[in-house]
Amino acid sequence: MKLKKGDEVQVLSGKDVGKRGEVTRVLPERDRVIVTSPQLINVVKKHQKPTRATMQGGIIDKEMPIHASNVAFVCKDCGPTRLGYRIGADGVKIRVCKKCEADA
């Protein structure tokens, strides 16, 4: 699991493909991340009549668990990309963008 909380990610598959959101939780044991974004289509359709509250709406943050392989990390310089690691001088693994090799 290379993703961490606070990362911006883009969805790679499913009906939310292309949408972006923020990782708000990481579920390493399930290899999934919770992505929060007002753009997401909520996966679970609740059998519930629209309430006055939701009709008034505005921006509602939606979230769903997505398998880590179905999202791409979004580098602020190159957009959706892959993550790698380099070993810093002190032997610590540093997460980097695979395209521009900037620390991520």
Q: What amino acid is encoded at 88 in this protein?
A: G
- Supply the minimum distance, in Å, between the C-beta of residue 101 and Zn ion: 7
Residue 68 or 75 with smaller CB distance to Zn ion: 75
Q: Which of residues 22-81 bind Zn ion (CB under 5 A)?
A: 75, 77-78
If one asks whether residue 99 binds Zn ion (CB under 5 A), the answer comes out as yes
Q: What is the DSSP annotation of 20-86?
A: EEEEEEEEGGGTEEEEEETTPPPSS----PPPHHHHH-S---EEEEEEGGGEEEEETTTEEE-EEEE
Nearest residue (CB) to Zn ion, 19 versus 99: 99
| Residue ranges binding Zn ion (CB under 5 A) | 75, 77-78, 97, 99-100
